[in-house]
Structure 1
Amino acid sequence: MINSPFPLEPTPAEAQATIAEEFSFFGDWSERYQYLIDLGRKLPAFPEEWKTEEHRLLGCQSMVWIVPEGDADKLVFHAISDSAIVSGLIYLALRVYSGRSAAEILATDPDYVSAIGLAKHLSPTRSNGLAAMLAFIRDTAQARQ
């Protein structure tokens, strides 16, 4: 099994606190969007053969593909988007959830979304896409538990 390529804080709550702290350094949303784009560029390479309808996340305006690996003890998610900002949203979600147990995933609400102001600053289509991705992660954890 491949290890999660994201910084793995000891707990999802600590990962979310670190994300909130990082975003607090930026004064306005143009800087935060730029940071999201920069984070999206850090996503690891995603194999072209995974870009299939089977792995495509529905509910997103952008093209998003997500592939889970693992079992209840450790789930690793691989994902990519054709949108720079959405790639940044993917990076944040995987930073919180990838590499965790199904129980940890299910016990963790995505508090970072409101903590950094994403809920107020994303377009409705991006908000729907983020919700679809978080639901996919949660549903996968539920199915593997």
Structure 2
Amino acid sequence: MLTKYQDFNTLGISLARIDFAPYGGLNPPHTHPRATEILVVLEGTLYVGFVTSNPNRLITKFLNAGDVFVFPIGLIHFQFNIGQTNAVAISGLSSQNPGVITIANAVFGSNPPINPDVLTKAFQVDKNVVNYLQRQFWVNNH
């Protein structure tokens, strides 16, 4: 995935072009704490979705060229290329400073790391799984 951002200082909006690799190109689960996002697919086919809060309900859609989808402010969302060709989308955000929190990076790659006992209990998995995931996201692992 390749993303190019453009903010429009003092206008309260941002735009991004997102290029997705063929089948499997992913904009992983993330959130924008200060902006609603609108996505317009220019090429390809994307599987997109977000999770509502209280109750945690997954809303998904398959999008083709010309389709539009809105991700409400602060909700965890993703985009995934399910097509055999590249996909391209334009993302508009309702803030010049929308912020972005990538969920896996934040949880497993924080510096210093979150205590594995906390994550073991939160995710109800063995401590070895947590330790493995934290190793995948260490700070210089690009």
With structure 2 as the length reference, what TM-score do the two structures score?
0.27
With structure 1 as the length reference, what TM-score do the two structures score?
0.26
Radius of gyration: which is bigger?
Answer: 2
As a proportion of its length, which structure holds more helix? 1
